[in-house]
Amino acid sequence: MHIDGQCHCGRVTYQAEIDPERVSICHCTDCQTLTGSPYRVTVICSGEQIRIAGKPPKTYAKAGDNGRTRVQHFCPDCGSPLFTSGEGDASNDWGIRWGSIRQHDRLKPRRQIWCRSAAPWINDLAELPGQPTE
Ligand SMILES: [Zn+2]
Ligand SMILES: [Zn+2]
């Protein structure tokens, strides 16, 4: 599937060819801190599937709870999370952050990981009162 996306301010843009079956939710504490949200949704792909244009993203690397270093790619101006990549043997293991993808409504998660740190209310959202806008 061909997708395209951008950060919130629009200075970083990209196009990619992805497998819509490889959409994953991560409940790890790093994703919670980096996003400010209870979980993160990412399309898993390889580096050559993505073509980045515009301003080059800024990167930040840190070892996760599994001991592997992950690199976070984000817009240097607006801070929007855009990609993740690995290092060494995993340097071609990339991911695209769901919220930056223009076609994200068509990308449904197929699996979730690090459920042990999931917010305890994560399955209760359907019970909350809701309204279509603020
Ligand atoms: Zn931006
Ligand atoms: Zn995570």
Q: What is the mean pLDDT of residues 112-128?
A: 96
Res. 89 pLDDT band, cuts 50 70 90: confident
Of the ligands numbered here, which is closest to the C-alpha atom of 34?
2
CA of 126 to the centre of ligand 2 (A): 23
- Nearest residue to 60 (alpha-carbon basis) of 37, 42, 28, 82: 82
Res. 65 pLDDT band, cuts 50 70 90: confident
34, two tokens: 């980096």
pLDDT tens digits for range 2-51: 999 999 999 999 999 999 999 999 999 999 999 999 999 999 999 999 99
